Amino acid sequence: NAGVTQTPKFQVLKTGQSMTLQCAQDMNHNSMYWYRQDPGMGLRLIYYSASEGTTDKGEVPNGYNVSRLNKREFSLRLESAAPSQTSVYFCASRREGGSETQYFGPGTRLLVL
């Protein structure tokens, strides 16, 4: 059981370039999340999706877009990367029905030069 997978593991971009971070889960969870992790700031929510076809902004959505392609996949797109978007990005999913636990992918390290 793979859980939550993310690609790529590491990426270097130049300012202004675009890229899409991929996330997939095989646990049949409805809810999926994108967080960014920065030193001394913990994890902050970028976007989330409560179900297939729905997405909503989190705390720090500026500069990002998301797509919930189907129940399994939730992608994060940077249209024009900026150095401030250098971070580690984590995708997570959650099962409804009392568990409340979110399960995280291994992360994508992004460096924007």
Partner 1 sequence: AQSVAQPEDQVNVAEGNPLTVKCTYSVSGNPYLFWYVQYPNRGLQFLLKYITGDNLVKGSYGFEAEFNKSQTSFHLKKPSALVSDSALYFCAMRDLYGGATNKLIFGTGTLLAVQP
Q: Which residues bind partner 1 (CB under 8 A)?
A: 4, 31, 33, 40-45, 48, 50, 56, 58, 90, 92, 94, 98, 100-107
Dist CA 1 CA 7 (whole Å): 17
b/e per residue, 96-111, with b = 16+ CB within 10 A? eeeeeebeebebbebe
Closest CB 15 distance from partner 1, rounded Å: 25
Closest CB 62 distance from partner 1, rounded Å: 17
| Residue 58 or 63 with smaller CB distance to partner 1 | 58
**Number of other CB atoms surrounding residue 40 within 10 Å:** 4
| Residue 14 or 28 with smaller CB distance to partner 1 | 28
Closest CB 42 distance from partner 1, rounded Å: 4
| Residue 72 or 109 with smaller CB distance to partner 1 | 109
Q: Where are the alpha helices (DSSP H) in 26-113?
A: none
Dist CA 24 CA 51 (whole Å): 14
